[in-house]
Amino acid sequence: MPGQLAGWVADTEASPSLPAIVSSAYADEDERGKINDVREEFWEELHEFFANFTLLLVLLHIGGVVHASYADKENLVKAMFTGRKRGVEE
């Protein structure tokens, strides 16, 4: 006996009225499989680009904090944790 959500993971061609959560797998020789491989590779490359770009932004931010700490001769990292910065009165 199939589960309650069995129709949701079925192929959309077999049950077009239900949305498919998981698409059917196709063999590499199948034309649809080749299209899916290209799409999958595109999304993997895009994900890798944004992951690396995010790491670059994090490194630039840390470099900016270090540079500002040396330029202003104050510990900005300590100020981030304590909430108190030299020369600023409440």
The string of pLDDT tens digits covering residues 15-28 is 555 555 555 555 55
Q: Which residue has the tokens 């944790």?
A: 81
DSSP summary character for residue 21: S
36 pLDDT tier (thresholds 50, 70, 90): confident
Asked if residue 15 lies in contact with residue 7, where contact means CB atoms within 8 angstroms, the answer is yes
**pLDDT value at residue 85:** 79
**pLDDT value at residue 45:** 93
CA angle 77, 83, 89 (to 5 degrees): 120
Model confidence pLDDT, tens digit, residues 38-88: 788 888 999 999 999 999 999 999 999 999 999 988 888 888 888 887 766
Alpha-carbon distance of 48 to 40, in angstroms, equals 12
Phi and psi for 36 in degrees, rounded to 5?
Answer: -65, -35
